[in-house]
Structure 1
């Protein structure tokens, strides 16, 4: 007999309580066991959510150990370089890591196998070549501009660029896995395997007598990233070869690039917006301040991961529903807002309650970031209150206006940071970030309503799609 949450509640709970719980448990059963596309998307979001919970714990533990091993100054250097490389790696995909999520289901649905084979090959090859070229140019720029850069940043940034191509390739492999609804294989290499490897290898390096500095941490990160990405590449390639029979390939590179370019702008603006505060703190303040601010933001990531988990599970379904009933798309979009907001709100309360002891774990002085959490969490919950709007816009062909919204939000964020960080320090960064996230949430929700007639806001009436 198949497990059912509703049936189990009937057996274990008093009748009155079981009747009250039945609607909620029925929805849980629908997510876990429904065979339709909605159920598949829900299960992928649940899997992504679980992976994100585990990865958040792993990332948090690894960051605590790195901070304690390295001290705030060296840890701040490592953090700034690593965040920059993660952003640059994502940007180096030029949008292909997201556009494949749109094209792969479309080609499979329409039986366009030659085009499907073409984009599977072209996306990986193009991203690897583009990211390698960007890494070479970036490393050369650091060397040439070394006299104008703080000396303690030069070697770490050069090492960081060595890692960049594998970060980019991992992003496009994640996109291909998401397009095929391989949730575990999409997320586990980046969010589970890589951080564990970095922690284990760093511990081994320290045991072998290496200094606990930013350079050692980045060399460890290079090794871990290459090992993880090559394993991920072999696994994704093997699965694709099994799923898709051999045959001719058709290349529509111009079409793919034209669609990917605005997606590239959306993703670039989003990644820059998500991490701009850390970069701006690094520009205006010392590595110790970067360390404290990053630890605070990392603590807040326990709330963020709900949003990213839902986004990972629903993007390909937005693309599939785009060609069907508008009412079905609108209803599904509304569901994704609920999936995002309520768990995010619950996690926000937990983080605020436990934030100070969590930050204390990073080492002396890190708990100075605790008051910032009360301001920053407002922006995170506001974003969760409108769900993954940018995924809906991107998957329905509205990537251009979505890019425009993110561009305006990024300009607002940077402008406020330039004005406020020199005057108010870390509080200035927190104010700039929160204000820009509130603007982003309102602008994206309004854009979805204007373009698609879909209401994506947790407390707004559903209305009717146009």
Structure 2
């Protein structure tokens, strides 16, 4: 597969890369280079993955496999609730702020930032209250109920974190946007948990772990607010906010669907296993999924620089630039994913074994999840291609379709086949979603996606 993609000799590849970066710089789209931004984001994501892995190992060791499963189940619901509470605005901000900056429309930029912060704050509080009411009305056992309630209280903090990170990213600071979330949140949480348990302030249970994560979320939000103030363009000072409510609300519904589908696709295995009463399986599956998601780090890193660049190229009507960018992004994501997947599969039993007895059962499920992520890597960051070119509705339909396939299959397969059945279900949904997006990009946008991108002609560079 690699030979099909990398058909150019090394010298030609270097000339292509240099010419492509210069093309972006000439448009003012990559002052430090697309590859440089991606490399910085990748470094943060890799470091964050390492921190997350160590934090999960420590948490599992501290609270045990059963309480760890309850904790990860509550974390999954926290991420679902906080992501849906953004109403997709943390994604649309990337496009809107990039466009307003290119136009010099500082009044609209200030207006959309203020509007987004307000509406996400209100929505997240309402979602949290609804979730708390539902939790209290169920007959869940005490440890699970208390853990869920703590997670729901933290929903506004996590939702506003996403908004703050998107604003900083749109201001051109990709690494500054990613670092607090990826490096800080789990680090602070495990330090707080270890302190609470080690000094005897709280027992080693799921509610204690969730309380530590919630406190960490508050700290990360404070950092995000400081970063927004530091990175904001000077032109925003003294500008009265302008409202364009119709333009801002138009993409809200499809983006909410996309974000909901994304988090459901990532968390449905844990949630379904938890709903089926298998907290232990939910914890093991959460670890397997967390390891497999490392394969997505190159795609996420490339997407961090890819998304605002796509928005700018699309605004300029540069189809050739979009095709070249798509090709380069797919090659970077696949090469990076392959480099991670091979050693990870070899070391999988050892990596799972660090969590304690029983976690090695997740090795087959992790291998299936890795295979699904490799397919997604071969296609490149296609979802950003949809959202940054104004195809939110189509992107929402395809993403929700893939998530629905995965969710339905989870309910069908997780009961009889446990964590392996859940892994097969999730990977099937991921593959279906990426195939649908590749077809849409080719037939509607005229872009050859992922591995279907033929060798670029000099005129396209």
TM-score between both structures, scaled by the size of structure 1: 0.91
CA distance in 2, matches of 1:286, 1:45: 39
Q: In the alignment, is residue 157 of structure 1 matched against residue 157 of structure 2?
A: no
Q: In the alignment, is residue 229 of structure 1 matched against residue 221 of structure 2?
A: yes
Q: In the alignment, is residue 53 of structure 1 matched against residue 46 of structure 2?
A: yes
What is the 5 A alignment of 1:257-336? 257-324=249-316, 325-336=318-329
Q: What is the CA-CA distance between 1:141 and the residue it aligns to?
A: 2.1
**1:278 touches 1:290 (CA, 8 Å); kept in 2?**
yes
Q: What is the CA-CA distance between 1:301 and the residue it aligns to?
A: 2.2
Deviations 1:143-186 (A, max 9, x none): 2x133x34431111111011110100000111111212211221
CA distance in 1, matches of 2:43, 2:19: 18
> Which stretch shifts more, 314-323 or 420-429?
420-429
3-state SS, counterpart of residue 458 of structure 1: helix
- Could you say if the C-alpha distance between residues 361 and 175 of structure 1 is closer, same or farther in structure 2, counting changes exceeding 3 Å? same
Q: How many residues are matched?
A: 445
- Could you say if the C-alpha distance between residues 401 and 117 of structure 1 is closer, same or farther in structure 2, counting changes exceeding 3 Å? same
Residue 125 (structure 1) aligned to one of 118, 126, 132: 118
- Could you say if the C-alpha distance between residues 29 and 448 of structure 1 is closer, same or farther in structure 2, counting changes exceeding 3 Å? closer
- Could you say if the C-alpha distance between residues 225 and 412 of structure 1 is closer, same or farther in structure 2, counting changes exceeding 3 Å? same
Residue 200 (structure 1) aligned to one of 177, 183, 191: 191
Q: What is the CA-CA distance between 1:26 and the residue it aligns to?
A: 5.3
> Which stretch shifts more, 429-438 or 73-82?
429-438
Q: What is the CA-CA distance between 1:253 and the residue it aligns to?
A: 1.8
Q: What is the CA-CA distance between 1:27 and the residue it aligns to?
A: 6.0
3-state SS, counterpart of residue 250 of structure 1: coil
Residue 248 (structure 1) aligned to one of 240, 249, 268: 240
Give the unaligned 5+ runs of structure 1: 1-19
**1:73 touches 1:288 (CA, 8 Å); kept in 2?**
yes
TM-score between both structures, scaled by the size of structure 2: 0.92
Q: In the alignment, is residue 425 of structure 1 matched against residue 408 of structure 2?
A: no
Give the match for residue 6 of structure 2. Answer: none
Q: What is the CA-CA distance between 1:461 and the residue it aligns to?
A: 2.6
What is the 5 A alignment of 1:48-447? 48-143=41-136, 145-147=137-139, 149-209=140-200, 210-240=202-232, 242=234, 244-324=236-316, 325-447=318-440
Q: CA RMSD in A?
A: 2.1
Deviations 1:425-461 (A, max 9, x none): 1121111112111111111111111110101122543
Give the unaligned 5+ runs of structure 2: 1-8
